[in-house]
Amino acid sequence: MGFDIFHELFLKTGIIHLTIGHVFMWLIGFLFIFLAIKKNFEPLLLVPIGFSIFLVNMPIAPLTGPGELINLFFKYGIETEIIPCLIFLGVGALTDFGPMIANPKTLLIGASAQLGVYVAFFGSIVLGFTVKEAASIGIIGGADGPTSIYLSSALAPHMIGMVAIAAYSYMSMVPLIQPPIMKLLTTKKERKIRMKQLRPVTKTEKIVFPIVAAIVICLLVPDAAPLLGLLMLGNLFKECKVVDRLLKTSQNELLNIVTIILGIAVGATMKAEVFLKPQPIFIFILGLFAFAFSTAGGILLTKTMNLFLKEKINPLIGSAGVSAVPMAARVSERVGAEADPKNHLLMHAMGPNVGGVIGTAVAAGMFLGMLK
C-alpha cells in the first residue's frame, strides 16, 4: 500500500519524464543567464529568455499547453503582434532622431545595411527553406529583435523562437562581431577621418519629424505602419514635452512589462523537441552571415558616398546602419577612438543607427506586402 502511494507520486513527478534533450536545453538556458549576468550581454532579455528555457524544459509542467500561462503570453502577446509594436513605442520614446535630422543622408547608410537581410534570404533558399521562412531568417541581418519577431509571427510562426534567439544573440554580440569586419574593410587613414560637428536641430523639426515620417512611411509601405507608426508616436511623446506621464510610462513601465513577457514567450519556444534539430543551427549560421553582410553593406556604401562627397564621412559609422541601438553606434565610436583617440564618432553614428531601425522595419514591411 505504502509503496503504491510512493510509486504513484513518483510517476506524477517530472523526474521520470526527464530526457537528455531537456538537460541539454537547461545548459543552453544556463548559458544565456551566464552571458547576461557575467558578460552583461542584453541582460534585460537574456535573463527572462534563459529562465524561460529552464521552465519550459521541465517535463510535464503545465506552462505551454493550450490555456496555460506561457501559452497565453505567446498567444496574446506575440501571435497578435502586440508586443513588438509596443516595444517600438518604447524605443521611439527613448530615441533621439536629432543626428539623423541634422544629416539625413545617413538614412541611406541605414538602407544599405539591409544588404545582409537579402544575402541571408538567398542563403536560406539555397538551404531549402521556403520563401516565407527565408524572409524571416533574412531579417535577422537587420539586428532588430522586435522587427524579426513581428515578421516571423506573420510569415513563419513556427520559427519565431529560433529567429528571435538568433537576432537577440547577434545583437548582444555586436561588439565582438563588427570590429574585425570594420577593420578589414577600412584603411587606418579612413578610420581617422574627422567629421564636421552636426548642426543643432530645432525643437520644431524634432516635433514635426515623427509626423512627417509616419505619413511618408505609412503611405509608401502600409505593412510597416504598426511598427513604425508606434515608433513615431513614442518619439512624438518624447519631443512634444506635454505628455510627460505617457512618455515616462512608454520609456519605463510599459517597456519593462512587455520586455518581461517577450522574454518569457520567446524562451518558451525553445523546447527540446523543437530546438534540437538541424534547422536552428542553419538559422544561427545564416543569421551570422546576414549580420556580417549588413555591417559590410553599411561600410561599403559610406566608402562609395565618399567618392562623390566634398566633406568625407568616416566609413566606421557605416557599420552602425544595423539597428542595434545604441550598441552599434558605440562600436563605431570605440573603433574610431582606437585609430584617433580625439575623434568622437558617437553622435555621427547615431544617424545611421536610427536610420537602420527604420530601414529594417521598412524591409520587413516590404516582405509582408509581397508574401503575406
Least Å distance, CB 370 to other proteins, is 5
- Does the footprint of other proteins cover residue 100 (CB under 8 A)? yes
- Does the footprint of other proteins cover residue 205 (CB under 8 A)? yes
CB nearer to other proteins: pick between 213 and 322 = 213
- Does the footprint of other proteins cover residue 101 (CB under 8 A)? yes
- Does the footprint of other proteins cover residue 367 (CB under 8 A)? yes
* Residues 42, 37: Cα–Cα separation, whole Å: 9
C-alpha grid cell for residue 282?
A: 542553419
Q: Residue 146, Cα to own-chain centre: how many angstroms?
A: 6
Least Å distance, CB 114 to other proteins, is 5
- Does the footprint of other proteins cover residue 240 (CB under 8 A)? no
Put residue 241 in one of left, alpha, beta given phi > 0 → left and psi -120 to 50 → alpha. left
* Stretch binding other proteins (CB under 8 A), from 19-27, 123-131, 178-186, 244-252: 123-131
* Residues 243, 239: Cα–Cα separation, whole Å: 9
CB nearer to other proteins: pick between 64 and 114 = 114
Among 14, 62, 65, 104, binds other proteins (CB under 8 A): 104
Among 55, 108, 240, 260, binds other proteins (CB under 8 A): 108
* Residues 208, 330: Cα–Cα separation, whole Å: 27
Among 212, 248, 252, 253, binds other proteins (CB under 8 A): 212
Site string for other proteins, 332-361 (x = CB under 8 A): -----------------------x--xx--
Among 35, 107, 262, 322, binds other proteins (CB under 8 A): 107
Q: How many residues bind other proteins (CB under 8 A)?
A: 40
Q: At residue 293, what is the residue type? A: F
Among 51, 73, 88, 121, binds other proteins (CB under 8 A): 121
Least Å distance, CB 242 to other proteins, is 18
* Residues 129, 123: Cα–Cα separation, whole Å: 9
* Residues 360, 372: Cα–Cα separation, whole Å: 17
C-alpha grid cell for residue 163?
A: 529567429
Site for other proteins in 144-203 (CB under 8 A): 202
- Count other Cβ atoms within 10 Å, centred on residue 68: 13
* Stretch binding other proteins (CB under 8 A), from 38-46, 82-90, 105-113, 260-268: 105-113
In this structure, are residues 143 and 322 in contact, taking their beta carbons and an 8 Å threshold? Answer: yes
Under DSSP, is residue 96 helix (H, G, I), strand (E, B) or coil?
coil
Grid cell 529562465 is found at: 51
User: What's the per-residue H, E or C state across 162-222?
Assistant: HHHHHHHHHHHCHHHHHHHHHHHHCCHHHHCCCCCCCCCCCHHHHHHHHHHHHHHHHHHCH
Among 189, 204, 278, 310, binds other proteins (CB under 8 A): 204
Closest to 90 measured CA to CA, from 357, 294, 359: 357
- Does the footprint of other proteins cover residue 265 (CB under 8 A)? no
CB nearer to other proteins: pick between 91 and 111 = 111
Site for other proteins in 297-336 (CB under 8 A): none
Angle at 162 between CA 156 and CA 168, to 5 degrees: 115
- Does the footprint of other proteins cover residue 46 (CB under 8 A)? no
- Does the footprint of other proteins cover residue 370 (CB under 8 A)? yes
Q: At residue 343, what is the residue type? A: N
* Stretch binding other proteins (CB under 8 A), from 23-31, 263-271, 342-350, 364-372: 364-372
* Residues 95, 235: Cα–Cα separation, whole Å: 7
Among 10, 34, 76, 122, binds other proteins (CB under 8 A): 122
In this structure, are residues 247 and 89 in contact, taking their beta carbons and an 8 Å threshold? Answer: no
- Count other Cβ atoms within 10 Å, centred on residue 197: 10
Q: Which residues bind other proteins (CB under 8 A)?
A: 100-101, 104-105, 107-108, 110-112, 114-115, 117-118, 121-122, 125, 130-131, 134-135, 202, 204-205, 208-209, 212-213, 216-217, 220-221, 355, 358-359, 362-363, 366-367, 370-371
